[in-house]
Amino acid sequence: MKTLLAVVLVALLGACTTVATKKIASGENTIGERLQVNIEGPWNYISAPNMGPAQIWTMEGLPVDQLRIYSGIKDGEVIHDTRNSNLKSFSFRSNMQSDELVSMFEGMLTRGGSTFQLSKVEPSTFGGGKGVRFEYAMVTKEDNLPLTGVAFATVSNGELFALLYTAPRLGFFPRHQARVEQIARSAKILPTPAAPKY
């Protein structure tokens, strides 16, 4: 949680104009060129340079909850921000099986040294294709706050599409989980690039 926040704050120091928070309105939204979702109730989209390839949405603020949305990540691409080069890096490979996708995301989420426990891994459709859904529990070493997460991932035409939501176990994850599941269910991977809205 803190790394992303630090990225945003550093960006602010550099140039306030490059940090933006947009309201994602209810209804149809397209992320990247090919991922379309239909959301019920608005979200907040925070963008700043060097945050990594995922789009980050939040309901309560970056220190609390984060919805990471991956759209069309290509073979070999690093899936996180690259600020801290001391930590191990994780990249997507097009030939990854479900268990490897799960391991990759687990590695990314625990780069800073957190505990991580998978509580469920199951096949699921995502974006209209076969994919994986998994649930997890983690505690980051810095905050000592127990977090819960749910994630969906699929590979379509060699590209990664995924959605990960992490929020505190107490109060916040239960509060927003249903809407996240709904976003995941509504996800469609478009066959041809659509005009991106964001």
Residues in contact with another protein by CB under 8 A are 1-2, 5-6, 8-10, 12-13, 16-17, 19-23, 42-44, 46, 58-64, 84, 86-88, 97-99, 106-107, 110, 112-113, 115, 118-123, 132, 135, 139, 141-146, 168, 170-172, 174-175
User: Which residue bears the tokens 């704050």?
Assistant: 9
**Of 27 and 193, CB closest to another protein:** 27
Task: Report DSSP state, residue 91.
Answer: B
d(CA 105, CA 72): 16
**Of 72 and 150, CB closest to another protein:** 150
**Of 118 and 190, CB closest to another protein:** 118
Shortest distance, CB of residue 108 to another protein, whole angstroms? 13
Closest CA to 47 of 76, 24, 29: 24
Shortest distance, CB of residue 197 to another protein, whole angstroms? 15
Task: Report DSSP state, residue 78.
Answer: B
Shortest distance, CB of residue 192 to another protein, whole angstroms? 29
Structure tokens that stand for 44 in this block: 């907040």
Closest CA to 24 of 47, 49, 41: 41
